[in-house]
């Protein structure tokens, strides 16, 4: 896996293209005034959240609540 360094302005201007490169496995270090400040890196499959887990969590949270009351029914 390769690592590339880009300045903050370039990262802001070309974020979509940088994300495409990250999705292909590349790691991008973002610098400000020549100093590294952030790293864009691919997410491991184990770290990715399952969307269905998020839906289930929202449904569980919503259960028993009435919209607009902020409390339980």
Give CA–CA dist 19/22, Å, rounded.
5
- For the segment 8-58, what is each residue's pLDDT rounded down to a tens digit? 999 999 999 999 999 999 999 999 999 999 999 998 766 667 788 888 888
- Residue 45 lies in domain: 3-62
pTM for this model (two decimals) = 0.59
Split into its structural domains, the chain has a count of 1
Q: What is the pLDDT of residue 21?
A: 94
Name the token pair of 31.
Answer: 């610098």
Give the CATH number for residue 52.
Answer: 3.40.1620.10
Secondary-structure percent of the chain, ordered helix, strand, coil, rounded to 5:
35, 25, 35
Q: What is the pLDDT of residue 16?
A: 95
Q: What is the pLDDT of residue 69?
A: 62
């Amino acid at each position: 896996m390769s690592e590339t360094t880009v300045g903050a302005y370039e990262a802001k201007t070309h974020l979509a293209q940088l994300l495409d490169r990250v999705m292909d496995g590349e790691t991008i270090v973002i610098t400000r005034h020549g100093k590294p400040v952030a790293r864009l890196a691919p997410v491991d499959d184990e770290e990715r959240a399952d969307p269905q887990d998020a839906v289930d969590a929202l449904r569980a949270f919503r259960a028993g609540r009435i919209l607009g009351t902020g409390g339980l029914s």
